[in-house]
Chains A and B, each alone.
Chain A
Amino acid sequence: MTLLVEQIDRIRDILQDTDISATNISKIVTAHQESLQYLARKDMFFQIQWVNAIALQGLYVMPDPVVTISHVLYNERVLRYATETMLDRRYHGWEDLPGEPKYYTTDNQNPSTIRIIPTPKRTGSVIPIIPSPLFQNMVDNIVVFHTEDVSSDIADGVDILPTLFDWDDILVYKTARMLAERETEIQNLPVAQLCRQLEMLWERQSTPA
């Protein structure tokens, strides 16, 4: 597992950056978060999230920032994705329709929020089940397969990157490039160009066979 501080050391190695002031470290961390978001936008951080279903509640907010929701299960059964237009055609007043959930939508919802349609009639149990990666019961509850943005969790030196080690390397070269390209007194375009090539080399090889 890689600590953020180890990433920062590698970035400073490449930039030959001897400035250990809090301001400078903060700039590196911010650039590193930007790199993490680049990977997040490529749907690289997969997650399976358990959500407690509440009777007559249709809207659910994911605890972590979601990039893409791919599959939703309710009571161990697949919910189909539906747009608002599809739901309007099918049901009158679907926002206030209790029953056995069949659909989910992210249309016109806040970020990281899903709406379950119809709204469940039962509240799922929150009693933990061990062992399980979810630690919770899937019966009468919601399970969401999604990708997430982990950048906000990686802001402190002691934070551990949840990424594959190969991606840590991509993050180092991407962040170093970003910083070396900036119009500052430490701008170093040749190093930025070399980092770009290393970043591309790692990304090219990272595509699974």
Chain B
Amino acid sequence: MTLSDLQNLVALKLGEQSLFYPPEEITRSGLNPAQRLLCLTYPLILQQRVTVTVNPDLPFIDVRQVTGTDGVILGNRIRFVRRVVMGNVRADAPVHNAVTDELFELRETTVAALSRRANDWMSHRGIIRHYWKWGTYWIGLYKRPVTATTITVIYDAVPAQLVFDTDEPQVQAVYHNVIAEIAAGLLLVKEGNPQGEQGLKRIAGALALQQQGVAA
């Protein structure tokens, strides 16, 4: 469904009161937060991969500045980094790291653990076996690379905002009705009780999904 279709669906759910629920409000206060809440509750619905070339000696990267496959900077859409893999595993055919011919998962560590291990950990350069995270957006490689290194970052993604009428949610079509139902629930909140309470029940009902695979 496109944004336009979703707006119409939500409007129908809310009784087509276009003056009380204008389309812009349906999008900004309903559909966009609704798709975020869906992916927040079930992160496996939208996990993405991005490759990053880490330049020699680079101490760390700010993943907000990384450019995705669509050429757009990821910005604040990386919710949680799940894995970091040496090499490029974004496409079907994995590509080994060009210099070291390696393709493997880096182990996660922390700044605190590295500081306990060695006072001069930041000055270590050489073979990369670990990555560390600082908050949501900072990732560093340990040791610091001596050559340009390609890594793939696998992360829970926040869905892209729906802006234009032809935009479609990034999640599968099977979840589009769920987004519309959550959006209707969120929009009802402004009415107070009892409609708002009913809205929360609609959200809870819509989020009671059965997902295959590992539980979120």
Contact = CB atoms under 8 A, between A and B. Distances in A.
Verify that A and B bind, or say they do not: yes
Interface of A: 1-2, 6, 9-10, 13-16, 44-48, 70-71, 73, 76-78, 131-134, 138, 143, 145, 147, 161-166, 169, 172, 188, 190-191, 194-195, 197-198, 201-202, 205-206, 208-209
Interface string B98-134: 0000000000000110010001111100000000001
A201 to B, nearest CB: 7
Contact of A78 (B41, B76, B119, B161): B119
Given A1-B76, A78-B119, A13 B25 contact: yes
A145 B111 contact: yes
B interface majority secondary structure = helix
Contacts of B60: 48, 133
B136 A46 contact: yes
B190 A165 contact: no
A209 B43 contact: yes
A167 B196 CA distance: 22
Contacts of A197: 200
Given A165-B158, A194-B197, A194-B200, A14 B190 contact: yes
8 contacts: A46-B136, A71-B111, A71-B112, A77-B120, A133-B59, A166-B36, A169-B36, A188-B192
Contact of A48 (B43, B123, B138, B190): B138
B15 interface: no
A134 B59 contact: yes
Given A10-B29, A76-B122, A191-B190, 11 more contacts: A1-B75, A10-B28, A46-B135, A70-B112, A77-B120, A78-B121, A133-B138, A143-B122, A147-B135, A194-B193, A202-B40
Interface string B27-52: 01100010011001101000000000
B79 A166 contact: yes
B28 to A, nearest CB: 6
Contact of B115 (A47, A71, A205): A71
Interface residues of B, number: 48
B148 to A, nearest CB: 11
A207 B92 CA distance: 32
Main secondary structure on A side of the interface with B: mixed
Interface of B: 25, 28-29, 33, 36-37, 40-41, 43, 55, 58-62, 65, 75-80, 111-112, 115, 119-123, 134-138, 158, 161, 186, 189-190, 192-193, 196-197, 199-200, 203, 216
Contacts of A45: 135
Given A46-B137, A46-B138, A198-B189, A165 B29 contact: no
Given A9-B28, A131-B58, A70 B111 contact: yes
B59 A138 contact: yes
B37 A169 contact: yes
B189 A77 contact: no
A19 to B, nearest CB: 15
Contacts of A77: 119-120, 122-123
Nearest to B28: A10
